[in-house]
Amino acid sequence: MASRFSFLMATLVHKLALRIWRRRHAAVLAGQRADKDARRWRRQARELRPLLAELERDVDQATTQAETLGATGRDILPRDTSFFFRPQVFEKPLARPGLARPASGTLLGEGVTLHHDVPEPDFTVRQVRNKTESPARFGLVIESYELGGTFLSLALSCPEGEAQRTSRDDLVRFTFDMSLDVPLEVFARLNLRHGPNVEQIVRELDFNAADPWVEFDIFYSQFDPKRGKDMWLDLIFQTPTMNEIHIRDVSILRRPRLSL
């Protein structure tokens, strides 16, 4: 009963606030208020604006995370998962869904950067909506032609602060769902920056494995969590000439290695 009363009161207050601001707006447009009133309302509006923007951003982020976990199914994640991350490129539509001949260092979306050593990048990258039953809403398709370089990679940056939250007693798992028109070597390289140094752990992806993921055991690295700064993963394609790479989904999670 109390929760329902609180909900009704909150709804009433919200409607009342909307009515007040609409009346103020109408009064300003009609020139029916003194300048001091208008200035006071403007000051109040400016005070509210960053709070409302922050609330909207946090709700969007929480909703996206909840939908991601709901779509993925929390039951298929390790029960002791402490961190789960899917880049926004696979969750939200991009402002520019297609790129032709992109330069190395091109930001595809928040936290996803394209790198390559191709002198004349004769390839395209485009975002597509997933048609299969994938946890991710969108995927990336890379179509390459005659390339003179040796690699093409995507750098997936984990949210700020996750390096500091990663310890030597953790495992980091990279899960992938992708297909290749022509087989080639694909590697996942976990990078942990601590102080001026970067600890790197490399795993080759096995597309024939029963479980489409690789794990990085932080215990066997030289990573110093006390000096942790950044954590990111490089998805590296070796010599992807004349190929079509379809990345339907990628995700990163962290869990204690003690669960082994």
CA distances in angstroms from 136 to 68, 99, 127, 177, 230, listed in the order given: 7, 21, 12, 10, 25
User: In which band, very low, low, confident or very high, does the pLDDT at 50 lie, cut at 50, 70 and 90?
Assistant: confident
Residues 6+ apart with CB under 8 A from 134: 177, 248, 249
Separation of alpha carbons 110 and 202, rounded Å: 24
Residue 107, classed as helix, strand or coil, is strand
User: In which band, very low, low, confident or very high, does the pLDDT at 74 lie, cut at 50, 70 and 90?
Assistant: very low
Whether pLDDT at 60 is above 70: no
User: In which band, very low, low, confident or very high, does the pLDDT at 180 lie, cut at 50, 70 and 90?
Assistant: very high
Whether pLDDT at 58 is above 90: no
Whether pLDDT at 33 is above 60: yes
Looking at residues 35-46, what average pLDDT do you find? 79
Element (H, E) at 39: helix 35-72
Note the pLDDT of residue 96: 87
Whether pLDDT at 260 is above 60: no
What confidence tens digit (pLDDT) does each residue in 135-166 have? 899 999 999 987 888 999 999 999 999 999 99
Percentage of residues in the chain having pLDDT higher than 90:
57
With contact defined as beta carbons under 8 Å apart, do 254 and 81 qualify?
Answer: yes
With contact defined as beta carbons under 8 Å apart, do 248 and 235 qualify?
Answer: no
CA distances in angstroms from 71 to 67, 75, 133, 200, 251, listed in the order given: 6, 11, 10, 31, 13
Strand duo 112-116 + 170-180: pairing: unpaired
